[in-house]
Structure formats: structure tokens, C-alpha cells
Amino acid sequence: MPSVFTRIIRGEIPCYQVAENEHYMAFLDINPLQKGHTLVVPKQETDYIFDLEDKVLSGLFVFAKEVAGKIEKVFPCDRIGITVIGLEVPHAHVHLIPIHEEKDMNFSGPKMVLSAEEMLEIAQRLSEA
């Protein structure tokens, strides 16, 4: 069964898209820790990030760097935090989160609840940045 991220990549379920190229895609996390919290995924479905071929893994980080640049422009911050968890969705991905302090990326803490309109507006601003 395809992962939820593969279904997003195929266009079978919607997402708030931020960026895309031939091999990678970035879209907003539906339960963000901060405004601008974005997931970056390889289109190739592999569960564990360290099972990706070296070329796909390194390309993922180069693409993530481009996406981080967009997030920084729209949400000024001290830096873009980057995290890999992967316990919920078995499709390799990195979380990019604009942060000012360590607690801004506490995955055990409460998530933000943003309206669909706000998510759409954030995704549009990021994709245009």
C-alpha cells in the first residue's frame, strides 16, 4: 500500500505544496509546530531515510536547503531547524522548522491548529519566495 506521502506526490490526496522538482517535493506539515513547518520528501518511496541511495539522500538535503531559504525569507528566524523522525509516516522525510530557540521544535509539545485558509496562504507565500 502506498504511503500517504506517495499518494500526495501522485496527486491522489491534497497538500499545501511549497516546492517540487523531478525527484523531490516539499509541502506543509498538517500539524505544524511553527508557522512554515515544512516536510521535504523524495518522490521515491523508501521508509527509512538511511536506506536511501547516497545520491537520493544527498539530493534530498540540497533540495531541503533551497526550501529552507524560502522559509527564512517568509518567516524570519534564528535558523531553520531540521529533524528526521519518521515514526508516523513510513516514507523518508525531513522536517524544516523556523526556530528562535530549542523549544520551538519540541515534537512532544502541542501542535498549532491553523485554518485551511492560513495554510494555503503560507504555502503560497513560501512557493513564491
The helix/strand/coil state of 85 is coil
- The strand pairing partners of 96, in sequence order, are 38, 82
Chain positions 53 to 82 lying near ligand AMP, rule: CB under 6 A, are none
With binding defined as CB under 6 A, does residue 120 bind ligand AMP?
no
Q: Label each residue of 17-45 as H, E or C.
A: EEEECCCEEEEECCCCCCCCCEEEEECCC
Give the closest residue to 129 by CA, choosing from 68, 40, 60: 68
- Identify which range of 24-32, 48-56, 57-65, 114-122 contacts ligand AMP by CB under 6 A: 24-32
Distance CA 51, CA 81 (A): 22
Q: Which is nearer to ligand AMP, 74 or 123 (CB)?
A: 123
To ligand AMP, the closest distance from the beta carbon of 72 in angstroms equals 20
Number of residues interacting with ligand AMP: please give it, by CB under 6 A. Answer: 12
Q: Which is nearer to ligand AMP, 85 or 120 (CB)?
A: 85
Q: Which residues bind ligand AMP (CB under 6 A)?
A: 4, 15, 27, 29-31, 39, 85-89
